Structure 1
Amino acid sequence: MSGSIKDFAALKSLRNELKAQEEQRKAAEAERLEREKQLRADTDLFRRSIGDVAPLTPTDKTHSPPPRPLPIAKHHLADEQAALEQSLSDEFNVDTLLDTDEGLSYAREGISSDTVRKLRRGHWVIQGQLDLHGMRREEAREALAEFLRNAVKRGQRCVRVIHGKGLGSINKEPVLKSKVRNWLVQKDEVMAFCQARAVDGGAGALVVLLKA
């Protein structure tokens, strides 16, 4: 008798489980149908809002993109710009900018006279030099521009430019002496310059103070 009761209880439990599964299946099916219904409604609404649509008539024309500009090397432009900035004019006259002392010193605006005095007395150690002896004017001009540019890159503050006394030139005139002064005044990195002391070259050289 007890065995029959157990079998009946197990059967009842199985039937309840199957019933629950069937209800879950029906609920899932109803949810799926509802989603499909909503999707159709949205599609109909979109079609009504845009109206009738006709396909575009095919054409034999092809659309070509506009021609691209010829490439210009950035390094080439940078080199040209650098050359322009570093160009030095022979027409520039520095005479009106020089102090009328025996050393014909020069100081950019904002540089104190005390700085020039220190430069004359050798206050700064000469960290580099350029010897222009034997160079033609164009060669000397290019060499000076390159020398100053590299000196600033290396962080040099005080340098010497040897232009010579002109003893080996025609008429014994120091051709490069005045040219070098004119060129130096045109360089933004030059803060001041003066004739070198006797021990540093005297009238044949200039001591130049560069931007810190």
Structure 2
Amino acid sequence: MSDDDDLFSQEMAGVQPLASDKRVVYLRNSATGNKPETGDAAEKRDNPLTTGFLNILPCDEPLEYKHDGVQQGVLDKLRQGKYPLEASLNLLRKPVEQCRQELFAFFCQAQAENLRTLLIIHGRGRNDQSHANIVRSYVAKWLKQLDDVQAFSVAIQKDGGAGACYVALKKTAQAKQENWERHAKRSR
């Protein structure tokens, strides 16, 4: 067997392990042909997400937010998981600063792709001071800082439960125009 081990070692000498990037992003194919912003383009925009003072949310308090002017029915449907998910981001076991950067890049890419419903997997801790609950609290803070976030709510159990949240984004001007044109044709 030592000959096999030596042969294996020789063959594997120049092999590098794969990067363990566990971020999961599922994006639908764009019918309009728009290319998403690259990392460089996303970095050109100033990241408004802050890591300053944080009110840590208790573990038993569900994440939920609705921007002024958004109907309660939108939040209710979001909470029940009735909107189709178009993309997801996994922030499990990552440092806060990396989560901040990935969330902003993900948000920029979702805007470029005209996505409306996102899933962010942040994890949940067993106590209020756990790392997962700190990230969860920061995600709640950061989503409120983004102007195009209409609402967010805790996910249903099959999508991650208390360890994930749904995010509803505002329609882009292009999507509003397409929607108007589609419905204007029907009314003629």
Q: TM-score normalized by structure 1?
A: 0.54
Q: Which aligned segments of 4 or more residues in structure 1 are displaced greater than 3 angstroms?
A: 78-81, 91-96, 101-104, 169-173
1:71-82 matches, within 5 Å, as: 82=45
Partner residue in 2 for 1:87: 48
1:191-206 matches, within 5 Å, as: 191-206=150-165
How much does 1:107 deviate? 0.6
How much does 1:104 deviate? 3.3
Larger relative contact order, structure 1 or 2 (CA cutoff 8 Å, min sep 6): 2
Larger Rg: 1
For residues 71-116 of structure 1, what are the alpha-carbon distances to aligned partners after superposition, in whole Å with 9 as ceiling and x for unaligned? xxxxxxx988721xx22123366789xxxx9633101111011110
Partner residue in 1 for 2:84: 125
How much does 1:175 deviate? 1.7
Aligned partners of 2:42, 2:81: CA distance in 1, in Å? 36
Secondary structure at the aligned position of 2:110 is classed as helix
Partner residue in 1 for 2:15: none
For residues 38-91 of structure 1, what are the alpha-carbon distances to aligned partners after superposition, in whole Å with 9 as ceiling and x for unaligned? xxxxxxxxxxxxxxxxxxxxxxxxxxxxxxxxxxxxxxxx988721xx221233
How much does 1:165 deviate? 1.4
How much does 1:146 deviate? 0.5
Higher helix share: 1
Aligned partners of 2:102, 2:131: CA distance in 1, in Å? 23
Is the Cα contact below 8 Å between 1:90 and 1:182 reproduced in 2? Answer: no
How much does 1:211 deviate? 1.2
C-alpha change, 1:179 and 1:192, in structure 2 (3 Å) is: same
Aligned partners of 1:177, 1:150: CA distance in 2, in Å? 21
Aligned partners of 1:89, 1:197: CA distance in 2, in Å? 28
What is the number of residues matched between the two proteins?
Answer: 128
1:13-92 matches, within 5 Å, as: 82-83=45-46, 86-91=47-52
1:105-184 matches, within 5 Å, as: 105-166=64-125, 171=130, 174-184=133-143
Is the Cα contact below 8 Å between 1:94 and 1:185 reproduced in 2? Answer: no
For residues 129-160 of structure 1, what are the alpha-carbon distances to aligned partners after superposition, in whole Å with 9 as ceiling and x for unaligned? 00001210100000000101101111111000
How much does 1:189 deviate? 1.4
Is the Cα contact below 8 Å between 1:152 and 1:211 reproduced in 2? Answer: no
Provide structure 2 residue ranges, at least 5 long, that are not aligned to the other structure.
1-40, 172-188
Aligned partners of 1:95, 1:181: CA distance in 2, in Å? 10
